[in-house]
A and B are shown apart, each in its own frame.
Chain A
Amino acid sequence: MPGSVHSQDQDQSMMDAEQQVEQVPQEVTLDEKQIVVLPGATETAASFQFEGEGHTMGNALRYAIMKNPAVEFCGYTIPHPSDPKMNVRIQTTDSTTALEALEKGFNDLMDLCDVVTEKFTAARDQFNEESGNRMEA
């Protein structure tokens, strides 16, 4: 029935409008810097805007998040080079949420840092000891 198709269309657009009202950017203050969830976010697909970050954090974080099998897509961009802002886009499967994937990304990256510190210190101490011995000999 053509009428019912029509009314469904209207329903659809009504829902969109309601969602947009809810999608006022949420802001979290953090040492004057903020994470903003960009409009259009759903549970499993969201874009996060990081203020004052660049490729340093962006690419490393992208790598960590992409290592998560529940993540379908992750990418980062710096929308404008003179704006100190970095956007991360995360889309996940239904088993998790974009926010959880982001948090896991941070956790994994921090674990990685611990391993790097530990192994670096060990390798350096060993090297210093060996080269010290060589100098004495």
Chain B
Amino acid sequence: MSREAYQVPSMGAQTAFDTQGGYGSAMNVDSPSVVYLCGECSARVPLKRGDQIRCKDCGHRVLYKERTKRMVQFQAR
């Protein structure tokens, strides 16, 4: 796909991060949630698309991705 052909996914006029809009959250119900880790309290934070990026326990705004579930192979050298 060429660079010009790519279309930034958008939900109408709203941005993906906008949680104010009514139908935005309605759409989020069936979108999959991804678990993140809080940078402050290490709590597991499941987020869906459009959710506010914020820890539900402590309100910290830095979240990290979880480590891959895949096996990683290394040579002991």
Direct touching of A and B (C-beta under 8 Å) = no
Which of B's residues lie within 8 Å of A, judged by CB?
Answer: none
Which of A's residues lie within 8 Å of B, judged by CB?
Answer: none
